[in-house]
Chain A
Amino acid sequence: MIGVGKVKQYSNVLDKPLSKGKQEVSLSAFAFLFSELVQYNQTQVDNIAELERRLEDAGYSVGARVLELLCHRDKGNRRETRLLGILSFVHSTVWKVLFGKVADSLEKGTEHEDEYMISEKELLVNRFISIPKDMGTFNCGAFVAGIVRGVLDGAGFPAVVTAHFVPIEGQQRPRTTILIKFAEEVLKREARLG
């Protein structure tokens, strides 16, 4: 009746089988938790840039763990070593696990060799947002940028990752673009690998 009997006990979290990742919670549960992350961090900062940095930090630790998890579960501990490989891993595998879909697009920057962009028409964390005018260019996508940076960094592809709103013609809501600027060393290594 009480249902306690159904709870399997493990003396150690490592003994517990790694979940297959099929469990779900409601989108609102996540939305409320995320709101509170934003609200709490607003009390810790003086300006928008600082707020974005802190959201990015929170995202980074999520990204680092997502990488661990996926490498164990889906890839048998294999890791991507090539630039395009890791980018498509983020754009497809990571996105699918976290947001339930592949990202809308992955493009190479036209002006800079070291820049790539992942775009999403309606990024999950921007789904319910209305930015007041006094918060200017603030973008909650900083959290997702942090996730991306966490994954890339963990896989040995350090990069600067930022989130931006990009207006779409004929649409009321802008899309969000996650801009990835790889560190110099990454591009040099990539060049060596040929």
Chain B
Amino acid sequence: MQFFGGSEISPSPPAPTASGNNANMMYVFNRNGVCLLYREWNRPLRTLNPQQDHKLMFGLLFSLKSLTAKMDPTIAEKGNLGVPQLPGQGCSFHSFRTNTYKLSFMETPSGIKLILVTHPRTGDLRESLKYIYNLYVEYVVKNPLYSPGTPIRSELFNTSLDQYVRSIA
């Protein structure tokens, strides 16, 4: 999906560089809309408080999912717009691009939502999001001191995430 025209990106942020980190930020939500993780690498402009920001992002995804499923030309029977779906039901989108950023999205059947915002010219990040989901499983879910549904405070996860994101985006 592409918003705001074709490949002519303008005004364009600096092109991705080999060394720097071109990821802007990352969110992880659980199925209840709790923001388990917000990580920011490069986001100069901020006008919202964190709660509003998280809610807006979650709402954007929720609506987009519902819209993309509703517009699916390949499926005959589909519910009314706004009728809730099961995670993984129907079709799903995995990224969209604006002239200034690309948002990649993955949702698991357990309702975990991973959102990575990067430079608009970043390639397909679906495999990368799967990898990050695995990091989440290893360092968050299996941490005996982590209570599911609470914000992630794991050093181990944060450092591996930073390292990995630096290598991909």
Contacts and interface: CB of A to CB of B under 8 A. Distances in A.
B142 A35 contact: yes
A140 B142 contact: no
A37 B145 CA distance: 10
Contacts, number: 40
Given A130-B153, A130-B156, A130-B157, A39 B147 contact: yes
Contacts of A28: 142
B102 to A, nearest CB: 30
Interface string B119-137: 0000000000000000000
Interface string A68-103: 000000000000000000000000000000000000
Interface residues of B, number: 14
B139, B143, B144: most-surrounded residue (chain A CB, <10 A) = B144
B155 interface: yes
Contacts of B142: 28, 31-32, 35, 127-128
Interface residues of chain B: helix, strand, loop or mixed (majority): loop
A145 B155 CA distance: 25
Nearest to A34: B144
B136 to A, nearest CB: 12
Nearest to A128: B142
Interface of A: 28, 31-32, 34-35, 37-39, 125, 127-132, 135, 140, 172
26 contacts: A28-B142, A31-B142, A31-B144, A32-B142, A34-B144, A35-B142, A35-B143, A35-B146, A125-B144, A127-B142, A128-B138, A128-B143, A128-B144, A128-B156, A129-B144, A130-B139, A130-B143, A130-B145, A130-B146, A130-B153, A130-B154, A130-B155, A131-B145, A132-B145, A140-B144, A172-B159
